[in-house]
Structure formats: structure tokens, C-alpha cells
Amino acid sequence: MSDPVRLSKRVAELVGCSRADAEHYIENGWVRVDGHVVEAPQHPVTDERVELDPDAVLEAPEPATVLLHKPVGFDAIAGHQPAAALVTPDTRWADDPSEVRPLRRHLVRLTPLVPLETQASGLMVLTQDGRVWRRLTEDAAQIEQEYVVEVSGEIAPYGLRRLNHGLRYQGRELAPCKVSWQNEFRLRFALKDVQPGQIPDMCAQVGLQVVAMRRLRIGKVSLAKMPPGQWRYLPVGVRF
């Protein structure tokens, strides 16, 4: 058995490239050791089979954006039970249609965006991409969000009309939005610039109590059929 060497050294010898290029290939997930992708250039190898993917390129991969179905009880932005901890290799949705090549580096330094109440479930966004961060922070007031809200109680007279236009929250008049009944216990909300606690407060103002709330959509991006606690990639080129 030969002495262990760094994987980057073995790749550089195998491909005939510089050590720096070998590290790029490894970190970008193009190198397999005995059939398994290894993303650490310092990984020691001896007599293992080392292979470079024939489609390998040196360009750095796009920063990742992850769409998570946050379950009830997890904190979206900050808290003791962060939803970001659910984003692991094992919880990626098996039916993810994005065709993004998964890398472990995609699952670090993910910034959660667009607040969602702890007791709500639904679509949550985490990103490494500064372009997505700017879109969902600087332009947040222009991006429509869609929720389905299960309620109890008896709605006040003209309550549905008031939900669509005519309520205030935290001292400000709310912009017109779109609220409709899906059935006798469930409302659909489509609104912009929604603040934490706003939807339960709106319902309370017309005599309703929120039993459950789920976010279905942020802008053009929907939750789809992804199960709670699982995530998928936002495909490259898709915009909110």
C-alpha cells in the first residue's frame, strides 16, 4: 500500500493540471473516490480509484437557493428551533425537478428570507445568492405571497369585504389584497408586504381565529407538492 497523499495532489497528477485547479474540481463535486463524490481537497487517498467526471468544468457553480417546506413549530428567521437545520442531504425532496447537481457546499451559509410565523407551515426560502437576497429584501413589498388559512368562529358582517380592503395593522392602513373562501373553514389570502402576525390579526378583526396557516407561494415560486420537512433547489434562472 502506498503512503497517503492529499486528494488534490492525486487529481493534479491524474489530470495533468495545477494543484489549484485540482482543488477547484474537487470542491465543485467533480471527483469520485471509489465511486463516491468527495469535496475535500485534503482528503487522504492511497490505492483508492480516483476519477474525474468527464463533464467536469473549472467554473465555480452557481450559489444555491433552497426552497423548504417548513413544518409547524420551527423558526423561520431566528429562534431556538431553526428551520434551516432541516436542510440536510437526507431531506432533499426525492422528486426535486430542478436538475441541480447537489453539493455539500450548497448547504452551508444559507440565509433564511421572508418571515413566516413559527406556528405556520409552508414555503420558506434560504439562499447563498446575493441576487436572491436583494430581490426578497429590497423588493419585498412588491412580491405577492399566497396563504391558505384555516379558521374558526363566525365572520362579522361584511367581514370578507373588510379583509380585502379596509383593515389596519400596527397603526397603518393595509393595502387592498385578495381574500376568498375556499370552503366554509378555509380562506385563501394573496397579499403583498405581509408582516409577521398580520394575517392572524386581520382574521381577529372580523371575528375569526386562525387554526392553521400555510404559505403556498412567494411571487412566482410555489410550494408544489413537496412534503413538510423536505427541500428542493430553486432552478437556475427561475425568478421570484
The predicted-structure confidence for 148-199, as pLDDT tens digits, reads as follows 999 999 999 999 999 999 899 999 999 999 999 999 999 999 999 999 999 9
Please give the full DSSP string across 169-201, using - where no structure is assigned: ETTEEPPP-EEEEEETTEEEEEEES--TTHHHH
What per-residue confidence (pLDDT) applies to 67?
Answer: 98
- Its domain, for residue 16, covers 5-52
Same domain, 125 and 170: no
φ and ψ at residue 71, rounded to 5 degrees: -80, 165
Q: Of 192, 29, 19, 213, give the one whose Cα is nearest residue 122.
A: 213
Number of domains present in the structure of the chain:
3
Same domain, 121 and 166: no
Residues 6+ apart with CB under 8 A from 55: 30
In a domain, 58, yes or no: no
What per-residue confidence (pLDDT) applies to 25?
Answer: 85
What per-residue confidence (pLDDT) applies to 1?
Answer: 59
Q: What is the CATH number of the domain that holds 10?
A: 3.10.290.10
Torsion of CA 12, 17, 18, 21, to 10 degrees: -90
Helix (H), strand (E), coil (C) string for 54-88? CCCCCCCCCCCEEEEEECCCCECCCCCCEHHHHCC
Q: What is the CATH number of the domain that holds 213?
A: 3.30.2350.10
Average pLDDT per 10 consecutive residues for the chain, totaling 240 residues: 82 86 81 86 87 82 93 94 96 95 89 96 97 94 97 96 95 95 96 95 98 98 97 92
Q: What is the CATH number of the domain that holds 121?
A: 3.30.70.580
In a domain, 133, yes or no: yes
> Tell me, what DSSP letter sits at residue 165?
S
**What angle separates helix 7-15 from helix 19-27, to the nearest 10 degrees?**
110
Per the CB < 8 A criterion, the answer to whether 100 and 64 are in contact is yes
What per-residue confidence (pLDDT) applies to 88?
Answer: 96
Same domain, 19 and 121: no
Same domain, 225 and 120: yes
Same domain, 109 and 226: yes
In a domain, 182, yes or no: yes
53-62 contact pairs (CB < 8 A, 24+): 55/30, 56/25, 56/28, 56/30, 56/31, 57/30, 58/21, 58/24, 58/25, 58/28, 60/24, 60/28, 61/28, 61/29, 61/101, 61/103, 61/105, 61/106, 62/129, 62/236
